């Protein structure tokens, strides 16, 4: 059982502590570290189990559609991802994609769309996916070429999406396509594309180091009714960014979960491995490493739950979420690498927990905005804030001068 003392931090309410405790028991009973079934089947099964366990209701918003609350509780989302990641990367993936794939519907969907898509996502009867990236538009998502042309009361979708998680097993894709000639992020619209839509083809299944369903998709003259449009026309980029603002913080939480598991494994190893007449943990070099690992994890968790708490207070979290994602994923990579090192040869044996964690963590530093993209978001955010405060101070100074000059402009 991992250290759960962080739940005493003031970010949390009693319901969060109860959620963490209940999920910990459920995960201990239900989740094995590895799955014998094919990755697709293991994923489908996990979605069903997470649905029947009642956990997926935290991945969506709207009590009327089976959610735990009307708004997504970001702290609950993060606690769930952290806990699942500590037990099983695939379970975390299955949970996270239900949220990311349907998040735009929670945030921007019509009543009819929410009824149709969110309810089965929450029960685990339907699998969701988020299709933004293209072969020539990853970090630069606004460079997308996939286009949807309006013809009467429907759109015709043509193009390609790649690196789409749940590609091949999803029941629907929240997809972003260009709908007008406008450059860059303007002129992009979000749609809900049912997996059975004629013209949607799984062009390639992509195998990655931490296996999960992933695919490249082709769209050839796919007909989408106007009712499948999600949000306002040409506002799709905002839809995508608002969705990522919620789920980016949860990527940080997953990284914290992976790191906590690595520290737990490292502590077990260091206190039981004998060498040179004492335990590995008795060496100061080991103690220094363990201290760095534990401190890094707490720093990452503090940033993560600050971002989650801020969002739950209704505040803008673009910068805070980017700080959390960057710090947590980069820290987790270092913590896991240190754990592998402490295991020696055993650390690189296939399916050893630390070996698995080593593969699991790597993509988190790339998807939902690579670390470099988070750096840009943070820097832009703080520069903007600085300029705004300079401007408002200038205005205050200007007002003071006006007062001093007896109401005349000085």
Ligand X SMILES: Cc1cc2nc3c(=O)[nH]c(=O)nc-3n(C[C@H](O)[C@H](O)[C@H](O)COP(=O)(O)OP(=O)(O)OC[C@H]3O[C@@H](n4cnc5c(N)ncnc54)[C@H](O)[C@@H]3O)c2cc1C
* Residue among 80 and 100 whose Cβ is closer to ligand X: 100
Least distance in angstroms from the C-beta of 144 to ligand X? 10
Q: Does 366 bind ligand X (CB under 6 A)?
A: yes
- φ/ψ region of 54 (left if φ > 0, alpha if ψ in -120 to 50, else beta) reads left
Task: Point out the catalytic residue in the list 368, 372, 390, 400.
Answer: 368
Region binding ligand X by CB under 6 A among candidate stretches 17-25, 149-157, 242-250, 366-374: 366-374
* Residue among 51 and 138 whose Cβ is closer to ligand X: 138
Q: Give CA angle at 227 (226, 231), nearest 5°.
A: 90
**C-alpha R_g of the chain:** 23
* Residue among 67 and 214 whose Cβ is closer to ligand X: 214
Q: How far is CA 381 from CA 169, 274, 374, 377, 385, in A?
A: 37, 50, 10, 6, 6
Least distance in angstroms from the C-beta of 11 to ligand X? 28
> Site mask, ligand X, residues 213-232, x = CB under 6 A?
-x------------------
* Residue among 286 and 374 whose Cβ is closer to ligand X: 374
Per the CB < 8 A criterion, the answer to whether 255 and 300 are in contact is: yes
Region binding ligand X by CB under 6 A among candidate stretches 1-9, 142-150, 290-298, 362-370: 362-370
Least distance in angstroms from the C-beta of 228 to ligand X? 18
Alpha helices in 274-370 (DSSP H): 284-312, 318-343, 353-361
Q: Is residue 351 classed as helix, strand or coil in its secondary structure?
A: coil
> Site mask, ligand X, residues 125-164, x = CB under 6 A?
-----xxxx----xx-----------------------xx
User: Which residue is it, tokens 């520290």?
Assistant: 263
Q: Does 74 bind ligand X (CB under 6 A)?
A: no
CB count in 10 Å sphere of residue 401: 12
Hey, which residues between 279 and 298 contact ligand X (CB under 6 A)? none
Reply yes or no on whether 368 is catalytic. Answer: yes
Nearest CA among 200, 14, 230 for reference residue 109: 230
**Closest-approach residue to ligand X (CB):** 138
* Strand partners for 316: none
Number of H helices, E strands in the chain: 11, 10
Least distance in angstroms from the C-beta of 79 to ligand X? 22
Pairing of strands 214-225, 154-165: antiparallel
Least distance in angstroms from the C-beta of 401 to ligand X? 41
d(CA 281, CA 169): 45
Least distance in angstroms from the C-beta of 109 to ligand X? 18
Nearest CA among 145, 60, 138 for reference residue 98: 60
Q: Does 376 bind ligand X (CB under 6 A)?
A: yes
- Looking at residue 137, what DSSP letter applies? B
Q: Does 184 bind ligand X (CB under 6 A)?
A: no
* Residue among 372 and 400 whose Cβ is closer to ligand X: 372
Q: Does 193 bind ligand X (CB under 6 A)?
A: no
* Residue among 33 and 370 whose Cβ is closer to ligand X: 370
Per the CB < 8 A criterion, the answer to whether 318 and 379 are in contact is: no
Of the candidate residues 165, 189, 286, 333, the single one contacting ligand X (CB under 6 A): 165
Angle between helices 353-361 and 89-108 (to 10 degrees): 30
**Binding site residues, ligand X, CB under 6 A:** 130-133, 138-139, 163-165, 208, 214, 363, 366-367, 370, 372-373, 376
**Residue numbers annotated as active site:** 368
């Amino acid at each position: 059982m991992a250290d759960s003392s962080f739940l005493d931090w003031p970010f949390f309410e009693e319901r969060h502590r109860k959620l963490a405790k209940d999920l910990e028991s459920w995960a201990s009973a239900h989740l094995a570290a590895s799955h014998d079934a094919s990755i697709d089947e293991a994923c489908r099964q996990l979605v069903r189990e997470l649905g029947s366990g009642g956990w997926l209701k935290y991945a969506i918003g709207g009590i009327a559609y089976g959610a735990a609350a009307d708004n997504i509780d970001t702290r609950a989302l993060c606690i769930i991802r952290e806990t699942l990641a500590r037990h099983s990367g695939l379970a975390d993936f299955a949970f996270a994609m239900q949220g990311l794939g349907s998040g735009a519907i929670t945030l921007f969907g019509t009543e009819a769309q929410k009824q149709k898509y969110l309810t089965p996502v929450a029960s685990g009867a339907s699998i969701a996916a988020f299709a933004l990236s293209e072969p020539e538009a990853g970090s630069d998502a606004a460079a997308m070429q996939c286009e949807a042309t309006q013809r009467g009361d429907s759109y015709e979708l043509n193009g390609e999406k790649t690196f789409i998680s749940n590609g091949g097993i999803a029941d629907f894709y929240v997809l972003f396509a260009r709908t007008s000639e406008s450059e860059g992020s303007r002129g992009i619209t979000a749609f809900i594309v049912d997996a059975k839509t004629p013209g949607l083809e799984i062009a390639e299944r992509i195998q990655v180091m931490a296996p999960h369903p992933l695919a490249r998709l082709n769209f050839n003259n796919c007909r989408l009714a106007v009712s499948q449009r999600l949000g306002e026309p040409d506002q799709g980029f905002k839809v995508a960014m608002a969705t990522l603002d919620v789920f980016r913080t949860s990527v940080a939480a997953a990284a914290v979960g992976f790191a906590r598991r690595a520290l737990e494994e490292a502590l077990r190893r260091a206190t039981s491995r004998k060498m040179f007449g004492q335990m590995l943990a008795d060496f100061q070099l080991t103690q220094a490493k363990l201290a760095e690992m534990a401190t890094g994890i707490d720093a990452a968790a503090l940033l993560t739950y600050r971002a989650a708490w801020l969002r739950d207070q209704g505040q803008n979290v673009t910068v805070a979420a980017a700080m959390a994602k960057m710090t947590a994923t980069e820290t987790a990579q270092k913590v896991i690498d240190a754990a592998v090192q402490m295991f020696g040869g055993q650390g690189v044996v296939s399916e050893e927990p630390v070996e698995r964690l080593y593969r699991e963590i790597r993509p988190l530093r790339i998807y939902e905005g690579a670390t470099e993209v988070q750096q840009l978001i943070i820097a832009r955010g703080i520069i903007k804030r600085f300029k705004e405060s300079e401007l408002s101070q200038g205005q205050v100074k200007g007002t003071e001068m006006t007062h001093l000059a007896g109401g005349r402009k000085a």
